[in-house]
Chains A and B, each alone.
Chain A
Amino acid sequence: MSKVHVTTSVNGDEVEFLADPRETLLDCLRDHIGLTGSKEGCGTGDCGACSVTLDGALVCSCLVLGVEADGKRVETIEGMADGAELHPLQRKFIEHAALQCGFCTPGILVAAKKLLETNPNPTEEEVRYWLAGNLCRCTGYDKIIRAVMDAAAELRQEAA
């Protein structure tokens, strides 16, 4: 199948690649652009390890075709920190020991960032339901929820 030329913005940088129309955005990010922070845990949109935002919408990049990213803005885990300065969510995940193997972590961070942009003051229940599409098999979610709540509190304080 002949490839399609795709021009897109990834973490603020203009990026071009040739995509087979059957390839997912996740495949393109990982195999064509070399951004392997987004993970494939299922390929069916059930685990959330491949979470990215596409024009600001939270998506499973395994359910988006690479060619669909043409002309759009993609944000991935690699763009979450501001240079050397971690996003408060990233810092809180380390502080709270909210990761064990770390494989689900990029997707959860991307999803949690979108949550806090949408709802700066979520309840525990709201965090749990927002993250229900991101599987973690190691932690039992306890420390993840605490880290997100704590980061939300810090971000609110910064904003105040």
Chain B
Amino acid sequence: MAKDEFKEFKLVGTRPDRPDGLDKVTGRARYGADISAPGMLWAAVLRSPHAHARIVKIDTSKAEALSGVKAVITRADFPTGLTGEDWNLQENTMAGERALYDGHAVAAVAATSKLRAEEAVRLIEVEYEVLPHVIDVDDAIKPDAPVIREGAADATVPEGMPPNVVRYMEFGRGDVEAGFAEADLVMEKTYKTEATHQGYIEPHACMGQMGADGKGEMWVCTQGQWFIRKMCAAVLGLETSQLRVTPSEIGGGFGGKTTIFMEPLSLALSKKAGGKPVKLVMSRSEVLRATGPTASASMDVKIGMKKDGTITGARAEFRMQGGAFPGSPVDMALYCCFAPYKLENVEHIGYDVLANRPKCAAYRAPGSPMGAFAVESLLDEMCRELDVDPLEMRLKNAVREGDTASYGPKYGSIGLVETLEATKAHPNLSIPLGPNQGRGIAAGYWFNHNGETSVSLAISEDGTAQVSVGTPDIGGSRASIALMTAETLGIPYEDVRVNVVETGALGVNEPTHGSRATFASGKAAVVAAGHAITEMCKRAANEWGIDPEAVEWVDGAAQPAGDNAGKFPPMTIAEIAGKMGSTGGPISGHHESVPEGVGASFGCHVVDVEVDPETGRTTILRYLVVQDAGRAIHPAYVEGQYQGGAAQGIGWALNEAYIYGEDGRLQNSVFLDYRVPVASDLPMIDTVIVEVPNPGHPYGVRGVGETGITPPLPAIANAIQEATGARLCDLPMSPPKVLAAIKAKGG
């Protein structure tokens, strides 16, 4: 199914070397912590050891007295009077009256060396009054739970709700009870998922500089330099345009680097230290304790199904905690959980709940994996009960173009049916399984996203092109954007250089998130290239003395459009570019928009597992990802997204979880204990790129980054049931839990 070549395209769909490959295999690529500056100071942060505590007193005098210490800051150094999400960001950057989670920043130091800064942090004395804390979402939603913050609830929360519910939602259509009445089987179950971390290998790192004049600069590993600028400006009370933010290469983000955690500290320290640049690099432990993992979830799902597999009604009630601040992705989880299915009767209820944990951040298809775990698990059990093939059930209920999604909007062109058919046809499904082995199937969904996008393109004097984009390249987007630009201009791929630029160079861009970089920056680059082509046709027309309308652009050259236009040999991009100075000046194109035409993406995963009945350990034998890409611009990096999403989902399903002690402290804040999948845990991950082109993008792109993490959680649970007869409704499905489940059913 994966087509590496489209007849109509020369470059789109090919697999050239990525432009940043050489830098990244030689160690030359510069990431967040790889830059230094003259006079630079190092920062270190003091963090709360308590899950919830009143900060009675902070004494920084000993730290300040240490030789080499240039600045110490606490919340007292930040502006006051912020509200809403600005206040949340400031409070999360540096605790105010209370520390709200284990790892919450309390003070920060800048000194002449890293070791000196760390010494100084140890000299800061903080007096805490420890308060009761709450960690689990089901505990946090109890009416008598410790209150994280009075008055945090927004207007959506009806009166009388428990105090930690800060947002409430309820939506749906039809009559769900009538739907259940129509069904031959109605099942209802509760599922839980624990918080997991994006686990990017590069810890957050930045170098900030801020003068007394309010002008500043920052080098930072981020998915979005404009978000960093906006948020730092808000937290510190700066004028946005006075801060220039340059993105480093980024060592993974998966949503976790779309916001700020410690970046304003480097600027505030720099300002207090007289404008010296301040480098701040998190340790792994700080990353796990104090950046944004995903939410944990507790979810009730009820579904009605007819004997033939038709879904007659569906209800989801999800509770999610996203840490000590509003913002868990419970809304997204609800939007996505039933999205693959055509439903007349559907009801969604959601609670966003506070707990004493770090402020959650986006993690690859935020919310969708949890919702899929609940819904796709229950659907699988119902198929078993009714003896319906799970793939046929999904095909029978699959949404198609024109259908109304479970969460409201009408679907445009989508490729779920094609994805399910491609799954059905895959040879992995006919491989026989042995004892203690099982096969699981699940579907998944992500909307994909557009967002503010600004791109500029300039033709160089030799006819090559440079493209400035605002979306950091995390997984090969320079390559995909170069391919589309070169295809549009009719020039070689190598003649296009795509640069990820700083905030001073373009209009506002949203981050590389929502699977949008190749869709949105790519689309804008194609439009910008079109503007440059129009200009180059005009230059040729002027030289030929014909109407610009009579010139067309073919294979990287202007040529008369037909015999009536006149007889002139094609004028190449290099010829036109070579004389731009005397024909009207620089030739460029730019485009700014929130690009319309987002194409949603569905996927279906099939996993074969073997479960050791004596230890409960699950081994992944085989793994298949089938997903609609719209069109794969660079198929190798599309496969990479599918494989990477699956691997993260496998980790979430089997190993990964935030483990808290009774004291509310995170117990597994290093990679040894927060165990992500390693090479020996996984098999090769098979991929099928389904291509139902998105009519909203010039080359059919949908976006491929996120859907792939959605199906693994339920697919593996379904496979484990097939292998053992035991149904796991609580992640992670670690060996002790699987063993207990096997024993509980008398296996």
Contact = CB atoms under 8 A, between A and B. Distances in A.
Nearest to A45: B672
Given A102-B20, A132-B680, A37 B26 contact: yes
A122 B475 CA distance: 28
B251 A77 contact: no
A43 B288 CA distance: 13
Contact of A77 (B21, B26, B637, B670): B26
A80 B26 contact: yes
Contacts of A116: none
Contacts of A70: none
A22 B116 CA distance: 11
B56 interface: no
Given A40-B203, A94-B17, A143-B640, A102 B29 contact: yes
A131 to B, nearest CB: 4
Interface in B198-216: 198-203
Given A44-B671, A140-B685, A101 B678 contact: no
B117 to A, nearest CB: 13
Given A42-B284, A42-B670, A137 B252 contact: yes
Given A44-B670, A94-B17, A143-B636, A37 B28 contact: yes
Interface string B447-482: 000000000000000000000000000111000000
A145 interface: yes
Interface in A82-134: 86, 90-91, 93-97, 99-106, 109, 124-125, 127-129, 131-134
Given A46-B672, A81-B26, A103 B201 contact: yes
A63 interface: no
A141 interface: yes
Interface stretch (B30-38, B64-72, B121-129, B332-340): B30-38
A158 interface: no
Nearest to B200: A137
Contacts of A94: 17-18, 21-22, 25
Interface string B643-661: 1101110000000000000
A85 to B, nearest CB: 11
B contact face: mostly helix, strand, loop, or mixed: loop
A30 B30 CA distance: 12
B283 interface: yes
A134 B679 contact: yes
B251 A139 contact: no
Interface in B1-52: 15, 17-18, 20-31, 33-34, 36
Given A41-B203, A46-B670, A138 B284 contact: no
A138 B475 contact: yes
Nearest to A49: B201
Contacts of A129: 679-680
B201 A141 contact: no
A144 interface: yes
B201 A97 contact: no
B694 to A, nearest CB: 22
B475 A40 contact: no
**Which of B20, B115, B201 has the most A CB atoms < 10 Å from its CB?**
B201
Interface in A12-47: 20, 22-23, 27, 30-31, 35-44, 46-47
Interface string B378-415: 00000000000000000000000000000000000000
A86 B23 CA distance: 11
B27 A78 contact: yes
Contacts of B114: 27, 31
Please indicate which of the listed interface residues B28, B284, B640 has the most CB atoms of chain A within 10 Å of its own CB: B640
A139 B200 CA distance: 11
A100 B202 contact: no
Contacts of A146: 684
Interface string B228-258: 0000000000000000000001111110000
B27 A44 contact: no
Nearest to B205: A40
B152 interface: no
Contacts of B253: 101
A109 B27 CA distance: 10
A20 B112 CA distance: 14
Contacts of B474: 100-101, 138
Contact of B251 (A43, A101, A128): A101
B93 to A, nearest CB: 23
B115 A47 contact: no
A135 B679 CA distance: 8
B676 interface: yes
A93 B25 contact: yes
Given A139-B644, A140-B646, A43 B17 contact: no
B26 A78 contact: yes
A91 B18 CA distance: 12
B682 interface: yes
Nearest to B36: A31
B640 A76 contact: no
Interface string B519-546: 0000000000000000000000000000
7 contacts: A37-B27, A38-B27, A42-B284, A44-B284, A94-B22, A135-B678, A140-B677
Given A99-B21, A137-B200, A144-B679, 15 more contacts: A23-B115, A39-B31, A44-B284, A44-B672, A46-B670, A97-B18, A97-B476, A99-B24, A102-B25, A128-B680, A128-B682, A132-B678, A139-B643, A140-B643, A140-B682
Interface of A: 20, 22-23, 27, 30-31, 35-44, 46-47, 49, 76-78, 80-81, 86, 90-91, 93-97, 99-106, 109, 124-125, 127-129, 131-146
Q: Which 4 A-B pairs have the closest CB atoms?
A: A37-B27, A103-B251, A102-B24, A140-B647
Interface of B: 15, 17-18, 20-31, 33-34, 36, 113-115, 198-203, 249-254, 281, 283-284, 474-476, 634, 636-637, 639-640, 643-644, 646-648, 670-672, 676-682, 684-685
